[in-house]
Amino acid sequence: MSSLCQNLLMSLAEPTRLHSDDPAASIEAVRGMIEARLAAIVPSAQTWPVRLHEAQRHALLSPGKRFRPLLTVFIAKGCGVSAEAELSAAIDVGCVSEMVHAASLILDDLPCMDDAALRRNQPTTHIAFDESTAILTATALLNRAFGVLARLPQVSPVARVEMIDLLSYAVGSKGLIAGQMADLANTDHSASIAEIERLNMLKTGALFEFAIEAAAILGKASSAQRAALKDFSHHLGLAFQLLDDLKDTLMNDDDAGKTTDRDIGKATILALAGSQAAQDRLLGYIDSAKDALSRAELIGGAMLEAVLDRQFAFVNHK
């Protein structure tokens, strides 16, 4: 680990050194650690096969807010994780969710899925490289994610197995993949809001559930805390997907940083209820998520609220 990352971990372990009066600085400090760890987790671009590893780094290290890993780190810290080794593990677990997220975006952008050309202000992986490389890149990132969980020396074998099982469910045929399958056939405009919410929870919420529940495992959260955090992840997943739908409709490619108008013809809450009702519902999801977070009674809860406000700035400024 670099001396810079070591110093940042020390700052994270000591609340008085983590800019407690400046949440934005704290968030950026942790985000910097996440970025450095992501760059170290995957092979260098010069590693054979070069094209594959170039594509991995293209997809994984493209500029992003790192929302999921930030949640993992700050929730783990809120559950009482403070030792440097444990915080290092929380960063690694957070990076796992980012790797899986990157893999899912690669697949979601393929011509056989959403057929998108732009992601995070750069060409999608299949455009920058080719479809075969993109599919192999997504597979490699997903496999590496499980490997990172399996080799966390700071975490007990029981906790590692629990997180591996949790991830396998989150991205499996009853989680993220199920949601993507359902989304490909999502053209029934007679669907109810509840049915659309179920799809959104599978497609988007499942990975949030992993990021948040894994943090609770690391922090040895109480049963009451885990119940509150599960409720938090539920409403957060709904909010995140609805925000994405709103951006897809209300923003252009340059502002969104990705190909928009991919939801035309799909049954979404926005399509069924209209823009204003969708925004009102989004605010309700966010309020419910914050209420659940408050019930979890985490240390430094204000920091997590700042992470949420940063992610949902688009709707807060509407």
3-state secondary structure 199-239: HHHHHHHHHHHHHHHHHHHHCCCCHHHHHHHHHHHHHHHHH
Return the ∠ at Cα 172 (arms to 168 and 173), rounded to 5°: 150
Residue with tokens 């959403």: 114
Q: Are 56 and 99 in contact (CB under 8 A)?
A: no
Predicted local distance difference test score (pLDDT) of residue 173: 92
Cβ proximity of 206 and 175 under 8 Å: yes
CA trace torsion 48, 49, 54, 60 (10° rounding): -100
| Architecture label for domain 3-316 | Orthogonal Bundle (1.10)
192: helix, coil or strand?
coil
pLDDT for res 318:
52
Is-contact 72 93, C-beta < 8 A? yes
pLDDT confidence of residue 247:
83
Q: What is the pLDDT of residue 248?
A: 79
Give residue 187's pLDDT. 75
In angstroms, the CA 159 to CA 31 distance is: 24
In this prediction, residue 142 carries a pLDDT of 97
- pLDDT tens by residue, the chain, 318 residues: 555 455 555 555 554 344 456 888 999 999 999 999 999 999 999 999 999 999 999 999 998 899 999 999 999 999 999 888 889 999 999 999 999 999 999 999 999 998 999 998 899 999 999 999 999 999 999 999 999 999 999 899 999 999 999 999 999 999 999 988 888 887 777 778 888 888 889 888 999 999 999 999 999 999 999 999 999 999 999 999 999 888 877 777 776 677 776 666 677 888 788 888 888 999 999 999 999 999 999 998 889 999 999 999 877 555
Residue whose C-alpha is closest to residue 301's, from 62, 78, 81: 78
Res 19: pLDDT: 45
3-state secondary structure of 122: strand
Tokens matching residue 42: 């995957």
Give the domain ranges of the chain: 3-316
Q: For residue 270, which amino acid is it?
A: L
* Contact present, 235 and 285 (Cβ < 8 Å): yes
